[in-house]
Structure 1
Amino acid sequence: MNTMVFVNFPVANVEKSTEFYQKLGFKQNKEFSNDDASAMVWDDHFWIMLLNHEFYQKFLSGKTIADVQKTSGALIAFSLENAQAVKDFGENAKANGGNYHHVEMGIPEEQMYGLEVQDLDGNTLEPSWMAV
């Protein structure tokens, strides 16, 4: 059995966030989506679940939702096919209301390249490429 990864993000507006992720190349799985949550599929093994705050809160058992515009809770890294695909992903996010920045780590781009991409709510994805 292959492992699947489901990342759950709290979002202020499920519909707008769904549109944002579709523009990044994710596809919505309507079978696992409703007014409270949207299942966004990258591939057979990587999904992002966009949950409205009320629904997300049900999973926290007394904790509060972090304001990820001010505090980082997690950096979700995933691989893409090359450095240009990483750059395109970041530019696409920025063109649709998100943002990104590059962290210089002293590794040549021919060896590794990644970005820190923020969605509409400030959740962070790290598309990356490594020569392996």
Structure 2
Amino acid sequence: MTRMVFINLPVTDLAKSMAFYDAVGFTNNPQFTDDNAAAMMWSDEIIVMLLKHDFWKTFTTKQIPDAHTTAQVMLCLSQDSKEAVDAIVSKAVDAGGKAAPTPNQDYGFMYGRSFEDPDGHIWENAWMNMDALADGQPPEM
């Protein structure tokens, strides 16, 4: 089996969350989607599983935190350019997300912005000029 990453997120409204993730560039995999969960593909190796709260609770007895008021993780997607970073944040806002839950970053060789999904999960988006790292860490760091 190919190495893959499955990111499981609790969501309050599955249809709304699916529409949001579709709008920012994820694709639904209907093979792993039903009334309780949806597989949203970022790539063949990175899949976000959106799980309704009641279904999520079948996997753990831990309380589901309110991601609008608490943060446990920040997820990050790499982008091909600064423009792609700006574009995905714009798409997220247009689809009902919130821009800039974390500070923007612009170090010249690295650029990042973030958004929250409708449930408050934070997604960083970053572009990095890997050629700038050829001689070690840039002085901007």
Under a length normalisation based on structure 1, what TM-score does the superposition of the two structures give? 0.92
Q: What corresponds to 1:123 in structure 2? A: 121
Answering whether residue 107 of structure 2 is matched by residue 112 of structure 1, we say no
State how far apart, in whole Å, the 2-side matches of 1:25 and 1:11 are: 18
Aligned partner of residue 115 in structure 1, secondary structure: strand
State how far apart, in whole Å, the 2-side matches of 1:24 and 1:105 are: 20
C-alpha RMSD over aligned residues: 1.4
* Counterparts of residues 1-132 of structure 1 (less than 5 Å): 2-60=2-60, 62-101=61-100, 103-105=103-105, 107-108=107-108, 111-132=109-130
State how far apart, in whole Å, the 1-side matches of 2:25 and 2:77 are: 14
State how far apart, in whole Å, the 2-side matches of 1:39 and 1:103 are: 29
Q: How far off its partner does 1:2 sit?
A: 3.9
C-alpha change, 1:106 and 1:19, in structure 2 (3 Å) is closer
- How many residues align structurally? 129
Under a length normalisation based on structure 2, what TM-score does the superposition of the two structures give? 0.86
Unpaired segments of 5 or more residues in structure 1? none
Q: How far off its partner does 1:112 sit?
A: 0.7
* Matched-pair identity in %: 36
The aligned amino acid for 1:107 is Y
- Higher-Rg member (1/2): 2
The aligned amino acid for 1:76 is L
Superposed structure 1 runs of 4+ greater than 3 Å apart: none
